[in-house]
A and B are shown apart, each in its own frame.
Chain A
Amino acid sequence: MPEGPNGRTFYQRVVQATPGGKSLAQCLQCGSCGGSCPSGPDMDHSPRQLFAMIMAGMEDEVLSSNTPWHCVSCYYCTVRCPQQIPITDLMYTLKQMAIARGKYRESGHVDFSNSFIGMVERFGRSFELGLATRYHLTHNPLKMVSKGTLGLQMMVKGRLSPLPESIRNMPQLTAILTEAKRIAAQQEV
């Protein structure tokens, strides 16, 4: 099996980065996960196939699959899996690994997550209008036209704030996140 920098296989790295991930070894390849998945039609590989590929050490193929990016985090697969494998959390792990290795192809998803977290790191709160404009301006300016009408309706109904709200203790939050990132950077995913 192809090994990573610390002599750990791809499978081991996936499992160790996921709480409860060890149970992946018990996967029966029963397919309940894929059968439960509302995003199945959009996915390159069903969750079951993806897990077989992880076992086979197909790191590149797994990390460039669009499957984790189409996961809507509904947890249907997780509660249906007869082996109690934390499938949804495994999808989160694979997304992080794909970003860390620059393998992802779904840039729209990553841009959106980055815009969202950019707001949070700056204000401590998410801010829907800022998010919508920032993400759509950088990613898909044409979408702003249709989103714009919806945004206007929301504003009229008092549901969209034109101004970001910030928490008081931003220095504290920044210190926490900076330290967390420093610790994360020391470990290999």
Chain B
Amino acid sequence: MTAPNGQYAYYPGCSLKASASAYERSAMAVLERLELRFVEIDDWNCCGATEYFSLNRLPAYSLVARNLALAAAQPTHELVAPCSACYLNLRKTDDHMRQEPKLKEQVNRALAAGGLHYEPGTLRVRHLLDVIIDDVGYEAIAAKVTRPLAGLRVAPYYGCLVVRPFESDDPEYPTHMDRLLEVLGATVVDFPMKAHCCGGHMTQISEDTAFELIRRILHNAAAYQADVIVTVCPMCQLNLDAYQGNVNRRFGTAFNLPVLYFTQMMGLAFGLQPEALGIGSELVPAQAALNKIGQVPAETPRHTPKRRDKDALPMPSRQRR
């Protein structure tokens, strides 16, 4: 079920070239093992994140459509983005241009000013998670596992945009990444907040709003005794990882939950070295958790008693395992 000629147009997005370079590094290492060929779109531009659509929709669509036009010049119909926000913007622009002839005409008039054109429907826009699961499949992934993540308790965090509004799985309780992580040998914890919002750009605008959303997610993962939160989006990673300290200070909590990308988990299970996967660039260090699966050699395992939040609700899972 891979792309007809085995090739995918790849849209990295700005984060993967900066704050989320670990995501790109690990994704590339894993894709090589899976023999998927990604060709980066030449001279791609920012997707506008959630900001441009709030200001002025026609330039917002046109900004995204330049990328679609450049991608459509590649000999493939598959376009892949690893960032959930980029994925949504690309897919939404294609979808809305298809739905609305007037929008299609106006966006193409703007593109024509730069000598470009995009015919909506030409590309199938997909998230990296969906490509790996649907095109490679669990069995083929299992066949590559050489160092199962046995004993590691992981909380699969999907966030919003990979499952909503375009539903690649259940939009409220998706499980396809759960299965992927199980195939890698990890213990997947129940995680009711798995598809809730990380706060998005609110960490920059309104900390009161953002920190509470982040707190709820961390609280939920800690209550289910996860060692690691696994994410599919650079924005989610940044919010849960980089702001975890702020959240602890604000709420008097002691969360110590490393947040890794699903591609880093795959790489570890495939026997790749942590450094080759960009592990170590997270602000909440993953080392203690990785010691558990013998991935990081010779370091005194840190004593991490399972914390119980004073305001935690009684969770049935405490008895379950």
Q: What residue in chain A is nearest B171 (Cβ atoms)? A: A79
Tell me if A75 and B165 are in contact (CB < 8 A).
Answer: yes
Given contacts A79-B167, A173-B114, A183-B110, contact A128 B19 (CB under 8 A): yes
Instruction: Give the docked Cα–Cα distance between A58 and B202 (Å).
Output: 28
In the complex, chain A residues 72-103 whose Cβ is within 8 Å of any chain B Cβ? 72-76, 78-79, 86, 88, 92-93, 95-96, 99
Q: A112-B51, A113-B55 are in contact. List 10 more A-B contacts (CB 8 A).
A: A76-B164, A76-B197, A108-B206, A125-B17, A127-B18, A132-B204, A150-B245, A169-B43, A180-B107, A184-B57
Interface flags, A118-142, vs B, CB<8A=1, else 0:
0110001111100110010000000
CA distance A184 to B160 in the complex (A): 30
B 109-126 binary contact with A (CB < 8 Å = 1; else 0): 111111110000000000
Asked if A72 and B209 sit within 8 Å, CB to CB, the answer is yes
| Distance of A76 Cα from B200 Cα, bound (Å) | 14
How far, in whole Å, are A127 and B63 apart by their CA atoms in the complex? 16
* Residues of B close to A96: CB separation below 8 A: 54-57
Q: Mark A14-51, 1 if CB is under 8 A from B, else 0.
A: 00010110000000000000000011001000000000
Is there a chain B Cβ closer than 8 Å to A13's Cβ? Answer: no
| Residue A56, interface by CB 8 Å | no
**Also in contact, A19 and B59, with CB within 8 A (given A120-B45, A150-B242, A165-B17):** no
In the assembled complex, the CB of A81 is this many whole angstroms from the nearest CB of chain B, namely 10
Chain A residues, CB < 8 A from B161: 73, 75
Q: Which 5 residue pairs of A and B lie closest in terms of their CB atoms, listed nearest first?
A: A179-B113, A75-B164, A180-B110, A74-B197, A172-B114
**CB-defined A-B contacts under 8 Å, sample of 28:** A38-B213, A39-B209, A42-B206, A72-B201, A72-B202, A73-B160, A74-B164, A76-B160, A76-B164, A76-B197, A95-B54, A96-B55, A110-B55, A112-B51, A113-B55, A114-B55, A116-B49, A116-B51, A117-B55, A120-B63, A125-B17, A135-B204, A159-B19, A161-B17, A169-B43, A172-B66, A175-B114, A176-B110
Q: Which residues of B contact A75 (CB under 8 A)?
A: 160-161, 164-165, 171
Contact indicator B283/A175 (Cβ below 8 Å): no
Rounded to whole angstroms, the CA-CA distance of A46 and B197 in the bound complex is 18
For B200, list chain A residues within 8 Å (CB).
Answer: 72-74
**A-B contacts at CB below 8 angstroms, number:** 185
The answer, yes or no, to whether B246 is at the interface (CB within 8 Å) is: yes
Q: How far is the CA of A70 from the CA of B212 in the complex (A)?
A: 13
| Cβ-closest chain B residue relative to A37 | B197
B203-223 interface with A by 8 A CB criterion: 204-206, 208-209, 213
Which of A72, A99, A112, A131 has its CB near the most chain B CB atoms (within 10 A)? Answer: A72
Asked whether, in the complex, the Cβ of B45 is within 8 Å of the Cβ of A125, the reply is yes
The reply to whether A88 and B165 form a contact with Cβ atoms under 8 Å apart is yes
**How far is it, in angstroms, between the C-alpha of A99 and the C-alpha of B51 when the chains are bound?**
13
Q: How far is the CB of A64 from chain B (nearest CB, A)?
A: 16
In the complex, the answer to whether B53 meets A92 with C-beta atoms within 8 Å is yes
Q: Are B58 and A181 in contact (CB under 8 A)?
A: yes
Nearest-CB residue, chain A, relative to B107: A180
